[in-house]
Amino acid sequence: MKNYDRIKTILVIDDEPGIHKSLEYLLKPEYSMHAALSGIEGIQKAKDVSPDIILLDLIMPQMGGMEVLKKLKQLENDIPVIIFTGHGSIDSAIQAIKLGAADYIEKPFDGCKLKQIVEECIEKKKSSQNLSNRQDIIGESPQIKKVWQNVERYGITDLPILLYGESGTGKELFAKAIHKISRRRQESMVPIDCSIIPEALFESELFGYEKGAFTGANIQKPGHMFLADKGTFFLDEISNLPLQYQAKLLRVIQEQQYTPLGSTTSKTVDLRFISSSNVNLEESIQNGSFRSDLYYRISGVCIEIPPLREREGDIELLIRHFVSKYALQLNKPNLEISDTTMELLLSYPWPGNVRQLNHTIHAAVASADLVVLPDHFPTIQKILCSSTIQRIPYSSTIQRASDHEKENGEITFNMNISCDVTKQINLKDLEKKLTTKFEDSIIIEIQKRFALNRTELAKFLGIDPKTLRTRQMEY
């Protein structure tokens, strides 16, 4: 037991007397135990005792656990509530955590695991550990603060999390932050990028193989899942996982077992799954490229990471951070960035998000002497100076560049907007569609003028080739 100032108190709200006896046997004398056999009694004892932790059963007569949880949260006493839920009732656990529960554990529960959860909830309440995980992610915008609220709320649980966001928004960094505040933080987080592994190697990479499993398998090799056992398994860009392996992954999640290539024996693993996607998986389900049953297994909680262009005030913050970071690394401590350069960078939409901004600033700092100037960003200057946006209402076409404009190296797009004002309008969705449409038009025009292949085009735009691959354009 940790040496706290006093013995911590636990209130158990459960209508089964046998549960109270089991918990008292398990948790005494480390904790002072209080019992309530109904929701009404539990709410009153929570007021009287002010426990450090509440253990609450979801299924009780008269007043169910969800209603009790709502009333406990109305007391505003910040007491962590751990939910008891039936085996496989993950939907109930998710709903409870959204209502403010700190964590959940399935019945029949494992005693050691319960003690670990209780201890971690007390530790979390006692310390400010979560804030230390923000050091790798720069941002103070309301949008990024909302992401952090969800990360800190769901990170300590074992719920599967799906991170949505465009390429370069920092999904892997947030996955690492979730792992660092989870109960598995002492174990490994093992990432696998589903977008770069050849389809023929997926099974051997995920599950490993036995010696002699195929030609060239001269030794036994453990897969990524074996390496992640007891820790976190991060499936980056999971939309790229082939359908046949989606079925095998689903079996692993459901049964916590897998079979290496060439083996006849299953291996048991204990994993927390975090996934990411830069495409809408619900749309992928509709077009048949993603399994609905796998989607529901990995999306216990969905957290959307906003693109850089939607993060109010964060672009300037990130620019100054990266300039300082790379100036220090490159032994240029007095390096500054001019106001004109800052205006130039703030006017650029950054389609490759934080990753593109990071690489672009790094290159500029490397070539600068005393001041970072607009000339250190020739690609951005060329793109911004060669395009003019005119928004004209009540139409729906993009007018391409004329021959005269092509000769002068300019592109003028007349973006005509139309929307049905008789229906509810989602301005955020409208802005996103317009931005994407404009970016796609510029990319297509540049590719046609200079006849660049995908790699060359990505380099010209200063973005990752994977970003281009995920955009649904014909060029």
Residue ranges of the domains in the chain? 8-126, 138-304, 309-371, 386-470
DSSP lists the bridge partners of residue 192 as 235
Amino acid at 109: F
User: In whole angstroms, what is the distance from residue 56 CA to residue 42 CA?
Assistant: 9
Q: Which of 324, 327, 304, 328 is nearest to 316 (CA)?
A: 324
Q: Which of 163, 167, 179, 170 is nearest to 137 (CA)?
A: 170
Q: Which of 201, 258, 266, 200 is nearest to 233 (CA)?
A: 258
Q: Give, as one character, the DSSP assignment of residue 380.
A: H
DSSP lists the bridge partners of residue 34 as 11
DSSP lists the bridge partners of residue 36 as 13
Tell the CATH topology of 309-371.
Helicase, Ruva Protein; domain 3 (1.10.8)
Per-position b or e across 80-116, b if 16+ CB within 10 A of its CB: bbbbbbeeebbebbbbbbeeebbbbbbeebeeeebee
Residues 6+ apart with CB under 8 A from 350: 307, 308, 309, 315, 356, 357
From first to last of the 475 residues of the chain, give the pLDDT tens digit: 333 456 789 999 999 999 999 999 899 888 999 999 999 999 999 988 889 899 999 989 889 999 999 888 877 667 899 998 876 667 788 888 888 888 888 888 888 889 988 988 887 766 544 444 565 788 989 999 999 999 988 998 899 999 999 999 999 999 999 998 888 888 889 999 998 888 888 888 889 888 888 888 888 888 899 999 999 999 999 999 988 889 989 989 998 899 888 888 889 999 999 999 999 999 999 999 999 999 999 999 999 999 999 998 899 999 999 999 999 899 998 899 999 999 999 989 999 999 999 999 999 999 999 999 999 999 898 888 765 433 323 233 334 444 444 445 566 666 666 666 666 667 777 777 777 777 777 787 777 666 666 776 777 777 776 677 666 554 4
Domain 8-126 and domain 138-304 have a common topology: yes
Instruction: Return the structure tokens found at 352.
Output: 């490759």
pLDDT at 222: 87
User: In whole angstroms, what is the distance from residue 351 CA to residue 169 CA?
Assistant: 10
pLDDT at 424: 66
Range 138-304: architecture per CATH: 3-Layer(aba) Sandwich (3.40)
E strand intervals along 195-304? 208-209, 221-222, 232-236, 257-258, 267-268, 272-277, 301-304
| Edge-first strand listing for the sheet containing 31-36 | 31-36, 8-13, 53-57, 81-86, 103-107
Residue appearing with tokens 């398998």: 217
Residue appearing with tokens 């403010």: 100
pLDDT at 288: 93
Which CATH number is correct for 8-126, 3.40.50.2300, 3.20.20.70, 3.40.50.300, 2.30.130.10? 3.40.50.2300
Max Cα distance, the chain (Å):
85
pLDDT at 29: 83
User: In whole angstroms, what is the distance from residue 266 CA to residue 269 CA?
Assistant: 10
CB distance 339 to 375 below 8 Å: no
